[in-house]
């Protein structure tokens, strides 16, 4: 059985160029957790742990006695986050003011009933209070501007400025203050200067 590798199958979504481009993002299913506050805290780590525990349980379900219908082997998708501010009047540099939804894309064969089954299984094997916060649903971003940012998360502003200039020059308008980050590197194992992160936000074409 060939393994689906998201970097090959969905290259334009996960391996964009290091310069801005426009993409139409289709409907995608995710396991998601909403939260607020500094992502460097323990709560954020617990939330990430819950998402990965679920995602790997889904991936390894072919070893169970009840293999999901339509199962195919695949590489677990990367962690993603949609970021916003709780109070728009407070500086974006204040991490305690962050509002976020972190998520991991799920395979097409995962249904709502299967999701409930796997959540129950994970709770027995790897108890985590944040498993109760995990939701399963679809998101359709549609038309977006995106680029690959290489470097620390603290330096993302430079890439966002490039995206803003690109949109202005090509008659696209940003329509949401939220933005998405897709984390292609493990910050525990990668030098800050080499971190790879997809940056993306929704836009519309101007007349």
pLDDT digits 0-9 by tens, 57-73: 999 999 999 999 999 99
Q: Where are the domains of the chain?
A: 6-205
Confidence band, pLDDT 50/70/90 cuts, at residue 1? low
CB neighbours (10 Å) of residue 63? 7
pLDDT band at 78 (very low <50, low <70, confident <90, very high): very high
pTM above 0.85, yes or no: yes
CA distance 118 to 63: 13
Please check whether residue 35 is in contact with residue 109, taking contact to mean a CB–CB distance below 8 angstroms: no
Q: What is the pLDDT of residue 90?
A: 82
Alpha-carbon Rg of the chain, whole angstroms? Answer: 18
The enclosing H or E element of 123 equals helix 112-125
Task: Give the mean model confidence (pLDDT) for residues 17-29.
Answer: 97
Going by their DSSP bridges, the two strands 179-183 and 79-85 should be labelled as antiparallel
Query: Above pLDDT 70, what percent of the chain?
Result: 100
pLDDT of residue 163: 98
Supply the mean pLDDT for the chain: 95
Strands, DSSP E only, in 37-134? 79-85, 98-105
pLDDT over 90 percentage in the chain:
91
CA gap 65, 72 in Å, rounded: 16
Q: Three-state DSSP class for 44? A: helix
Angle at CA of residue 183, ends 178 and 186, nearest 5°: 145
- pLDDT beyond 90 at 122: yes
**Fold of the 6-205 domain:** Multidrug-efflux Transporter 1 Regulator Bmrr; Chain A (3.20.80)
Identify the three-state secondary structure at position 61.
helix
Measured in whole angstroms, the distance separating CA 203 from the mean position of its chain's CA atoms is 18
Q: Helices 42-59 and 112-125: crossing angle, nearest 10°?
A: 120
Cβ 102 vs Cβ 80: under 8 Å: yes
Condensed to tens digits (0 to 9), the pLDDT of residues 94-114 reads 888 999 999 999 999 999 999
For residue range 35-59, list pLDDT tens digits in order. 999 999 899 999 999 999 999 999 9
């Amino acid at each position: 059985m060939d393994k689906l590798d998201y970097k090959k199958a969905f290259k334009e979504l996960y391996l964009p160029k290091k310069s801005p481009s426009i993409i139409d993002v289709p409907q995608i299913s995710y396991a998601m957790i909403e939260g607020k506050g500094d992502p460097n805290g323990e709560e954020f780590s617990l939330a990430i742990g819950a998402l990965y525990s679920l995602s790997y349980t889904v991936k390894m379900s072919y070893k169970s006695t009840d293999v999901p219908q339509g199962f195919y082997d695949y590489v677990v998708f990367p962690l993603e986050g949609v970021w916003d501010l709780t109070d728009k009047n407070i500086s974006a540099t204040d991490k305690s003011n962050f509002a976020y939804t972190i998520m991991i894309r799920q395979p097409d064969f995962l249904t709502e009933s299967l999701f409930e089954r796997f959540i129950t299984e994970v709770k027995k094997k790897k108890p985590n209070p944040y498993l109760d916060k995990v939701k399963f649903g679809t998101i359709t971003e549609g038309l977006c501007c995106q680029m690959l940012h290489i470097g620390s998360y603290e330096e993302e502003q430079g890439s966002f400025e490039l995206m803003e200039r690109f949109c202005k020059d090509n008659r696209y308008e940003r329509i949401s203050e939220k933005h998405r980050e897709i984390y292609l590197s493990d910050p525990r194992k990668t030098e800050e200067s080499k971190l790879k992160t997809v940056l993306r936000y929704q836009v519309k074409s101007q007349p």
